[in-house]
């Protein structure tokens, strides 16, 4: 697949950054603060950012010799379920991003692999891949509703928090059932 053969970016998309007003001289900088809706499937199996949820982007775009360095924080809500007790989790996350986007036809563009450095399309930067990487790597694969969540009783499926302290399920192996009767006759 030839370099820069990705589909054209829409400059009106909230996760596309337009750098036309950023001078292409090292050291030039501008900030971007905006709220963007979360893209679909931004998460892992049990937890993620709901599609369309507001993401607060607080970014700094800085011209460097080979492209634009984008750095900053992205905050937003996360929803999911506890990996132990299946209770709903409503929380928020803040992730930092720092990604270099190479100018088209720059030395960096020619000397690096296609997936090693982000690429600009003209003056446009697609922030979604960097956002997706940052969020997904931050989320726990086994989220908990709280530290030390005891989970569910494996026998009856009730939350351990809702059960009495002496809760148990006496499982008698049918091969030993006759011995349990001997114990009762002695009492």
Asked if residues 118 and 101 have their Cβ atoms less than 8 Å apart, the reply is yes
In 3D, which of 124, 99, 103 has the Cα closest to residue 26? Answer: 103
User: For residues 75 and 54, is the Cβ–Cβ distance under 8 A?
Assistant: no
- The residue among 134 and 153 whose pLDDT is bigger is 134
Q: Does 107 have pLDDT greater than 90? A: no
Strand partners, 58: 33, 73
Q: What pLDDT, on a 0 to 100 scale, did the predictor assign at position 4? A: 45
Strands (E), 19-87: 29-37, 42-43, 47-49, 54-64, 67-81
Which pLDDT score, from 0 to 100, does residue 120 have? 86
Q: Is 96 left (phi over 0), alpha (psi -120 to 50) or beta?
A: beta
Nearest residue to 118 via CA among 1, 36, 4, 2 = 4
Among 12-16, 75-79, 95-99, whose mean pLDDT is lowest? 12-16
pLDDT at 104: 81
- Domain positions in the chain are 16-138
- Write down how long the chain is: 187
Tell me which residue has tokens 């775009």. 61
d(CA 149, CA 159): 10
122-152 pLDDT per residue, tens:
899 999 999 999 999 999 989 999 998 988 8
Q: Give me the chain's average pLDDT, please.
A: 85
Model confidence at 105, pLDDT cuts 50, 70, 90, reads confident
Beta strands at 124-126 and 16-18: parallel, antiparallel or unpaired: antiparallel
pLDDT of residue 89: 95
The highest-confidence range among 19-23, 50-54, 173-177, by mean pLDDT, is 50-54
Q: CA quadruple 97, 99, 30, 4: dihedral positive or negative?
A: negative
Rounded to an integer, the average pLDDT of 3-11 is 65
Average pLDDT (12-29) is 91
| In the predicted structure, residue 5 carries a pLDDT above the cut 80 | no
Q: Rounded to whole angstroms, how far apart are CA atoms 140 and 184? A: 49
What's the sign of the alpha-carbon dihedral 87, 92, 98, 101? positive
pLDDT exceeds cutoff 90 at 37: yes
- pLDDT tier for residue 161 given thresholds of 50, 70 and 90: confident
Binned at pLDDT 50, 70 and 90, residue 118 comes out as confident
Each residue's pLDDT tens digit, 58-83: 999 999 988 999 999 999 999 999 99
């Amino acid at each position: 697949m030839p370099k820069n053969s990705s589909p054209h970016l829409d400059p009106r998309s909230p996760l596309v950054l337009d750098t036309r007003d950023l001078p292409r001289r090292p050291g030039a900088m501008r900030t971007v603060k905006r709220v963007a809706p979360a893209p679909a499937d931004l998460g892992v199996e049990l937890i993620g950012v709901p599609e369309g949820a507001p993401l607060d982007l607080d970014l700094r775009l800085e011209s460097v010799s080979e492209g634009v360095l984008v750095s900053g924080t992205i905050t937003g809500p996360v929803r999911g379920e506890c990996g132990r007790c299946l209770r709903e989790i409503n929380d928020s996350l803040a992730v930092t991003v720092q990604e270099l986007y190479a100018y088209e036809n720059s030395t960096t563009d020619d000397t690096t692999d296609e997936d090693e450095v982000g690429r600009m399309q003209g003056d446009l930067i697609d922030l979604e891949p960097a956002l997706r990487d940052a969020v997904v790597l931050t989320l726990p694969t086994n989220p908990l509703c709280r530290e030390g969540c005891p989970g569910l009783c494996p026998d009856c499926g009730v939350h351990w928090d809702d059960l009495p302290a002496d809760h148990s399920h006496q499982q008698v192996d049918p091969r030993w059932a006759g011995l349990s009767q001997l114990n009762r006759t002695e009492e």
